[in-house]
Amino acid sequence: MRCIIRGNNIEITDALKDYVEKKVSRLEKYFDSPPSTEAYVLLNVQKDGHKVEVTIPFPGILVRAEELSEDMYASVDLVVEKLERQIRKYKTRVNRKSRQDGSLRSVYKEESIEGKNGTTAVVEHEENGFEIVRVKRFDFKPMSSEEAILQMDLLGHSFFVFSNAATDDVNIIYKRKDGKYGLIEPE
């Protein structure tokens, strides 16, 4: 796995770069074949601490986590631990689901993440007083609502837009204030 490391308000030393690469490469052990993917790491020094954000587009899933602490090395450790938990949780659910369905696990190994990262564009004009500052485009992967919840949780988002495999409609899954999930379907 190749690490692409960027820094905001910090100079990335060789020691820090080696440490990040060593820690992030530990995640490869959770996959049958070593993924030939890139890990995007953002190291950021803020007034309230050192923040580390990691985004990794593994085959079939996009894993993302961020951590903030008083020490950059501690933040790296914490974010890698969080990513390991997410991947273990995801793999456990996929393996459990594959035992029930029989074929789901092979689907995740063969599918690629192309288009899932999306492209980002900045729109500099205002329409009707509302300013759009970011546009994301990505391909919808047909999935069940359970898979969409897993993907949403892995990304750390409060909602997720997906193509429902059963109906071929675009659906939105969201996390409610009570901790449960809601599903929005077209009529």
pTM: 0.56
Q: What is the pLDDT of residues 127-183, one digit of tens each?
A: 445 677 777 777 778 899 898 998 888 888 889 999 999 898 999 999 988 889 999
Task: Report d(CA 12, CA 18) in Å as an integer.
Answer: 10
Residue 126 in this model has a pLDDT that exceeds 70: no
Stated as kind and residue range, the H or E segment containing 4 is strand 2-8
Q: Which residues pair with 161 in a beta bridge?
A: 172
Handedness of CA 151, 115, 32, 78 (dihedral sign): negative
Q: What is the pLDDT of residues 40-81, one digit of tens each?
A: 999 999 888 999 999 988 766 788 899 999 999 999 999 999
* Domains delineated in the chain: 2-106 (3.30.160.100), 142-184 (3.30.505.50)
What is the pLDDT at residue 171? 92
Q: Could you tell me the two tokens for 153?
A: 């949780």
Q: What is the pLDDT of residues 88-111, one digit of tens each?
A: 888 787 777 666 665 444 433 333
Residue 56 to residues 44, 73, 131, 142, Cα–Cα distance (Å): 18, 19, 29, 21
Sequence-ordered list of residues with C-beta below 8 angstroms from that of 41, at least 6 positions apart, any chain: 3, 4, 5, 6, 20, 24, 52, 53, 54
